[in-house]
């Protein structure tokens, strides 16, 4: 067919293909191959070394009766839902305030976004210090005379995940604000003019006109932060090391510890496959809508 006219379809564009070897290898070997490998080995009884001795769903059964995993999942759910809600709400409100044609917009934006430039390790260590009951907020408030004041999230298993949430929000809300601001700026001025002509109050314009128009921005932000949340690891390691006890464990830490410390690879693979599944639940519908719509447009 075409090869009759041209030398050979494989030789066409050869330099471009050669230059794409790193991309092709990464896509096929690491992303597809690596994920498939982990999924396959999650059905084996690999311990110190990976081996192909299939045990069916045994690793998953064990995973879901291990208290540490259950705590990790519960923490991920609490942390995930609350950071999604709060970072979207706070991020949007800050963006809306910055979008009100104010002075020093750049200064404020720089301040809200700088934590995002810092690593989770720094975030975790800074908040570990601020929340330290003997020196931090609790001791300062007690020093002011309120001696029974108690605020020690990092030492209290019941609320430790909220201590992590405070730090996570501090680090990540700036990003959401930036995305929201970009979304707000993309709203046509005529929309605002029309709303004004109709005498619609500002807050109503936001709630009923602007936010619905920004739906794609919200969805993208949602996908971005949720895939980040599932991965949360460094923050926990730095701020609490999973403690007190196992109270602030998260799946990513469970996986790491079982793979590289407890020498129980099978559990690690099963845990990471569950993480992949969680992300898949969020990503697949989004990708379907996103790319499905693009094809028509």
Partner 1 sequence: MADSALLDSTAVSGVRLRRFAGARGPRPRRALSRRNVFIYGTLVVVALYYLLPLYVMIVTSLKGMPEIRLGNIFSPPLEVTFEPWVRAWSTVCTGLNCEGLSRGFWNSVRITVPSVVLSIAIASVNGYVLALWRFKGADTFFTILVVGAFIPYQVMIYPIVIVLREVGLYGSRTGLIVVHSIFGMPILSLLFRNYFSSIPEELFKAGRVDGAGFWGIYFRIMLPMALPIFAVAIILQVTGIWNDFLFGVIYTKPDSYPMTVQLNNIVNATQGVKEYNVNMAATLLTGLVPLVVYLASGKLFVRGIAAGAVKG
Within 127-156, the residues that bind partner 1 by CB under 8 A are 127-130, 132, 135-136, 139-140, 143
Using the rule CB under 8 A, give the single segment among 79-87, 145-153, 154-162, 225-233 that binds partner 1. Answer: 225-233
Considering only the stretches 51-59, 67-75, 122-130, 155-163, report the one whose residues sit in contact with partner 1 under the rule CB under 8 A: 122-130
Minimal distance, residue 94 CB to partner 1, in Å? 7
User: At closest approach, how far in Å is the CB of 195 from partner 1?
Assistant: 7
114 binds partner 1 (CB under 8 A): yes
Residue 234 is a binding residue for partner 1 (CB under 8 A) = yes
Rule CB under 8 A: say whether 170 interacts with partner 1. Answer: yes
| 122 lines the binding site for partner 1 (CB under 8 A) | yes
For partner 1 (CB under 8 A), the number of binding residues is 108
Identify the sign of the CA torsion 225, 228, 229, 232. negative
Stretch that binds partner 1, among 51-59, 71-79, 124-132, 157-165 (CB under 8 A): 124-132
- Ramachandran region, residue 98 (left: φ > 0; alpha: ψ -120 to 50; beta: rest): alpha
Nearer to partner 1, 75 or 272 (CB): 272
Are the C-beta atoms of 209 and 190 separated by less than 8 Å? no
Nearest one of 42, 55, 40 to 267, comparing CA atoms? 42
Q: What is the dihedral of CA 254, 259, 261, 267, to 10 degrees?
A: 60
Select from 22-30, 64-72, 75-83, 152-160 the region that touches partner 1 (CB under 8 A). Answer: 22-30
Contacts 24+ apart (CB under 8 A), 78-81: 78/161, 78/165, 79/161, 79/164, 79/165, 79/168, 79/229, 79/232, 79/250, 80/226, 80/229, 80/230
Rule CB under 8 A: say whether 289 interacts with partner 1: no
Before 94, cis peptide (omega within 30)? no
**Is residue 26 within the footprint of partner 1 (CB under 8 A)?**
yes
**Do the beta carbons of residue 176 and residue 186 sit within 8 Å?**
no
Q: Which residues contact 144 (CB under 8 A, 6 or more apart)?
A: none
Tell which positions 55-84 bind partner 1, by CB under 8 A: none
**Segment interacting with partner 1, rule: CB under 8 A, options 53-61, 65-73, 80-88, 200-208:** 200-208
119 lines the binding site for partner 1 (CB under 8 A): yes
The nearest distance, CB 143 to partner 1, in angstroms, is 6
Residue of the chain from 3, 13, 53, 263 that contacts partner 1 (CB under 8 A): 13
Closest distance of CB 78 from partner 1, Å: 19
Q: Figure out which of the listed residues 287, 288, 289, 293 binds partner 1, where binding follows CB under 8 A.
A: 287
Q: Please give the residues from 253 up to 272 whose contact with partner 1 meets the rule CB under 8 A.
A: 255-256, 259-260, 265, 268-269, 271-272
User: Is residue 19 close enough to count as binding partner 1 by CB under 8 A?
Assistant: yes
Token couple for 36: 């498939």
Q: Which of 1, 23, 65, 158 binds partner 1 (CB under 8 A)?
A: 23
Residue 278 and residue 140: Cα distance in Å, rounded?
41
Contact 84, 78 (CB under 8 A): no
């Amino acid at each position: 067919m075409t090869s009759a006219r041209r030398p050979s379809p494989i030789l066409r564009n050869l330099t471009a293909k050669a230059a794409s070897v790193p991309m092709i290898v990464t896509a096929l070997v690491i992303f597809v191959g690596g994920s498939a490998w982990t999924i396959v080995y999650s059905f084996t009884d690999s311990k110190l070394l990976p081996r192909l001795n299939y045990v069916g769903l045994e690793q998953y059964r064990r995973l879901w009766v291990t208290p540490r995993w259950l705590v990790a999942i519960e923490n991920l759910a609490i942390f995930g839902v609350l950071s999604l809600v709060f970072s979207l709400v706070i991020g949007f409100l800050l963006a809306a305030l910055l979008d009100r044609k104010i002075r020093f917009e750049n200064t404020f934006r720089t301040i809200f976004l700088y934590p995002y430039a810092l690593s989770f390790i720094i975030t975790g260590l800074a908040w570990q210090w601020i929340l330290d009951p003997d020196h931090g907020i609790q001791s300062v408030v007690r020093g002011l005379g309120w001696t029974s004041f108690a605020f020690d999230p990092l030492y209290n298993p019941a609320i430790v995940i909220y201590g992590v949430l405070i730090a996570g929000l501090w680090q990540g809300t700036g990003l959401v604000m930036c995305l929201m601001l970009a979304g707000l700026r993309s709203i046509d001025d005529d929309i605002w003019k029309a709303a004004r002509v109709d005498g619609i109050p500002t807050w109503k314009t936001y709630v009923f006109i602007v936010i619905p128009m920004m739906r794609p921005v919200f969805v993208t932000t949602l996908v971005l932060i949720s895939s980040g949340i599932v991965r949360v690891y460094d923050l926990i390691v730095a701020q609490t090391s999973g403690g007190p006890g196992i109270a602030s464990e998260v799946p990513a830490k469970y996986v790491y510890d079982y793979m590289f410390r407890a020498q129980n690879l099978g559990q690690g693979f099963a845990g990471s496959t569950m993480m992949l599944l969680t992300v898949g639940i969020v990503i697949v519908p989004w990708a379907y809508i996103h790319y499905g719509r693009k094809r028509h447009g």
